[in-house]
Structure 1
C-alpha cells in the first residue's frame, strides 16, 4: 500500500507510528490524473493507496520486542521523569509507550533494572528494582494498563554487558520487553 505522508507522519511511519488513514480530497479542477489534489495532509495524518501492496497500512504499530534504556537518575532518587538526569532518553520511553498503547495486541510488558558492579549484591538488587519500579510507575502514569505490566524485576549486577567494564555507567540500564502470554 503506498502512503503519502506529511513530514511528521513520515517520520512516524519510519518508526511504525504513522497516524490514521485519510484519503486525499478529490479536486476536479486539478491537473493531476483522476482529479486528485496532492496537497500536504494535516499534521500527523497519512493517505493510503489501496492498489499498492508493499507497505504496511497507515496506523500499523510495530512494538520492538526489546528496548534497552540507559537510564540515569539523580543520586538516590528514582522518579521518572522528575529525577532522570539524561532527559533525552525520556523521548525513547515515551515513543515506546505510545507504540505499545496503540498496539491492537494489548502487549504484556516486563521491565528489568540492571546496575554496574559497584556495591554489594544486595544493594545492587535493590537498586535495580528501584529503577525498574520507577519505569513501571511511569508507564502507568502515562496511561498504560497496570494489568499489562509484569511486576518490576532486578538483575542487579548479575547480567553485566561483556563489551563494557563491569564498573561502567553503561551497565546501568532498564530493559523493557514485550512478552507473549
Structure 2
C-alpha cells in the first residue's frame, strides 16, 4: 500500500536524519511516489512525524493482556512480550524508529514518554496492589526498555545473541521482584 511505503520511508528518514534532515520530498523519493501524494496523505511534516510515532498495531493491547498473567509469572510474561514484539520484523522496525527518533527529536521524545507512561507504566501499575505500584512499574519498565535498547537497537553482545529462554530466565525474576518483591525504601 502506498501509505505504508510513505510511512516506512519517513520512519527511516526521521530515525536516521532527524527532523531537520527529513523533507517531504525526500520521503516521497525514498517511497517511490510523487511528492504530491505525500502532501495528499499528510498536511505537513508534523502530521507525517505523528504517523511515524504510532506504536505497532496490537502493541498496547498485548501489554494489557500480559497483565492478566497470574502475578507469580508476570515478570517472565512481560519479558516474553517484549521479546515477541521485537522479534516481529514489522513491529521491530516501528519500535526502533520510534526510539531512534526520540533520541534527538523533542516532539518524538515527548510522545515516547507519554506512551511509556500510559502503556507500560500505567498498564503495569494498574494491576499491582501495593501503594508504590507506580514506582514498581517504573522500575520494571526501565529494565524492559534497557533490554530493548541493548538487545535490539544497539545489538550489544552477548545479550543480542543470547537465546530468548536464557534472557527470560535471567531478567524475568528481576522484573518479578520489581512487581511484587521486596524493595529498598525510597
Larger Rg: 1
Does the pair score TM above 0.5? Answer: no
The interval holding the TM-score normalised by the smaller chain is: 0.3 to 0.5
TM-score, normalised relative to structure 1: 0.38
- Give the strand-richer structure, 1 or 2: 1
